[in-house]
Amino acid sequence: MVTRMNEHPAPSADDIRAIAGAVPIKVWSWLTTVFGDLASAPGAEIGGVALGRLTERIGIRPEATRVALHRLRKDGWIVSRRVGRASRYALSAHGRAETERAGERIYAREVACPERWFLAVLPPDRPVPPGGLTIAPQTVLSSEPVERADALVAEVAASGLPSWVRRAGIPPEIEAGYAALSDILTRIEAVADAMDDGHPLDSACLRLMTLHHWRRALLRHDEAVERLGGPNWIGARCRRRTHALLDRLERPALDTL
């Protein structure tokens, strides 16, 4: 049999599941990614059959999906209804509000990096202000003005920040998380390169895995970390790669799954 150059085989189940298993996935968290990307609009629903296909394709057992859906209903994140013998699921008002709030960061294509920072030495009894990054004991770097009461505050140009300050403000576990994400994105890119548009379920799984691992890395820190890292930081590079994949792996229509 002759294979034409523009024909690509569907990714194997092993290809998809190897990516999904690179970092352990909590099923309820995976489902929040699914609902957040595919059914965030008011009135949008996902059928149980489509959910089953998406979860089983990445190696999640049906009973694990049922337990996770029960948890999300109990937590008030989703609601469900029966249509004949089938179940349909949707985000609750609470789930949608939280999804939209997180989505502002997840789907943003870039993060503005300030030209000036505020360096503050705080008194011992004063907590770190919201958005502040601790770089030394009682010493905080913030992109927002810091209340000067009982604090020593100075403005610093971003271009004048030494590299040790950037390292001190970004915890090593955050760097490690993005390094792991970079490896996963490389694997997703390779599978996406070998796939054409004729496999909507696999394309959806790759898109959702991209988003899921990106969301896990991103929501572990405040936006101030990205602002400090700058456009060449590994987190910023992962953001650009994530959006390049999302542009390639377009959001599928639910009736194609």
The full DSSP string for the chain is -PPPTT--PPPPHHHHHHHHTSS---HHHHHHHHHHHHS-STT--EEHHHHHHHHHHTT--HHHHHHHHHHHHHTTSEEEEEETTEEEEEE-HHHHHHHHHHHHHHS-S--PPPSEEEEEEPPTTPPPPTT-EEEETTEEEESS----TT-EEEEEEGGG--HHHHHHHS-HHHHHHHHHHHHHHHHHHHHHHT--TT-HHHHHHHHHHHHHHHHHHHTTS-HHHHHHH-TTSHHHHHHHHHHHHHHHSPPPPGGG-
The predicted-structure confidence for 184-225, as pLDDT tens digits, reads as follows 999 999 999 887 666 788 999 999 999 999 999 999 999 999
Alpha-carbon dihedral sign for residues 94, 95, 101, 104: negative
Q: Please choose, from the candidates 62, 53, 60, the residue with its C-alpha nearest in 3D space to the C-alpha of residue 29.
A: 60
Interatomic CA distance for residues 228 and 57, integer angstroms? 38
The predicted-structure confidence for 114-166, as pLDDT tens digits, reads as follows 999 999 999 988 888 888 999 999 999 999 899 888 899 999 999 999 999 99
Is the pLDDT reported for residue 6 higher than 60? Answer: no
Number of other residues whose CB lies within 10 A of the CB of residue 114: 14
pLDDT at residue number 9: 54
CATH numeric code, 13-107+171-256? 1.10.10.10
Give CA 247 to chain center in angstroms: 15
Interatomic CA distance for residues 59 and 18, integer angstroms? 9
The predicted-structure confidence for 35-82, as pLDDT tens digits, reads as follows 999 999 999 999 999 999 999 999 999 999 999 999 999 999 999 999
Domain ranges of the chain: 13-107+171-256, 116-158
Number of other residues whose CB lies within 10 A of the CB of residue 109: 10
Interatomic CA distance for residues 58 and 184, integer angstroms? 14
pLDDT band at 12 (very low <50, low <70, confident <90, very high): low
Are 115 and 104 in contact by the 8 Å Cβ rule? The answer is no
